[in-house]
Amino acid sequence: MSNQPVQTVSASSDKLKVALAICAVIAGVVGFYVLADKSGMVRASALVCGLLVAIAIAWSSTPGKDFLNFASEAVRETKKVVWPTRKEAMQITAIVFCFVLVMALFLWGTDKLLEFLLYDVILGWKK
């Protein structure tokens, strides 16, 4: 990823922008509930507008720009991943399924053996 230094102190204007973005989200949610007597489209519009305003405000702040930079780098790294082919995925799935089946049989057998030893041999209880 990136080798940018970690910033622990941000400008007060950035803090104000983040606070305003949070207020815009809250205003959108409050608007959604205050407009309960209106149609669903009006209520959804109030919510979406609040979220869009919050995104626009947050986008202009330094933490917002840092987040966008991080997100673009994450997408770039994801594109570098070599995904298995369908055949490889099916083979891996079959191996995992077989292993789970063998492990289930082993645990069932161990359980039955311990049950036999405990109840029949040690305690002498017959079912």
DSSP string, 36-87: TTS-HHHHHHHHHHHHHHHHHHHHTSHHHHHHHHHHHHHHHHHHT--PPPHH
Cα distance between residue 34 and residue 44, in whole Å: 12
Residues 61 and 17 in one domain: yes
Angle between helices 62-79 and 40-59 in degrees, nearest 10: 90
Kindly state whether residues 64 and 50 are assigned to the same domain: yes
* Domain interval for residue 109: 84-127
- Mean pLDDT calculated for residue range 36-44: 91
Establish if 3 belongs to a structural domain: no
Same domain? For 22 and 44 the reply is yes
Task: Indicate whether 1 belongs to any domain.
Answer: no
pLDDT for the residue 120: 85
Same domain as 103, residue 66 = no
Q: What is the pLDDT of residue 12?
A: 81
pTM for the full predicted model:
0.49
Task: State residue 123's pLDDT score.
Answer: 84
6-11, long-range: CB < 8 A, 24+ apart: 7/62, 10/62, 10/63, 11/62
Condensed to tens digits (0 to 9), the pLDDT of residues 52-88 reads 999 898 888 888 888 889 999 999 999 999 989 999 9
Same domain, 118 and 89: yes
Element of type H or E holding 96: helix 86-115
69 and 103 part of one domain: no
Same domain, 102 and 51: no
CA atoms within 13 A on the CB side of 118: 6
Per the structure, how many domains does the chain have? 2
Which residues have a Cβ under 8 Å from the Cβ of 93 and sit 6 or more positions away?
none
| 65 shares a domain with 31 | yes
Q: Answer whether residue 125 shows pLDDT above 80.
A: no
Q: Does residue 4 belong to any structural domain of this protein? A: no
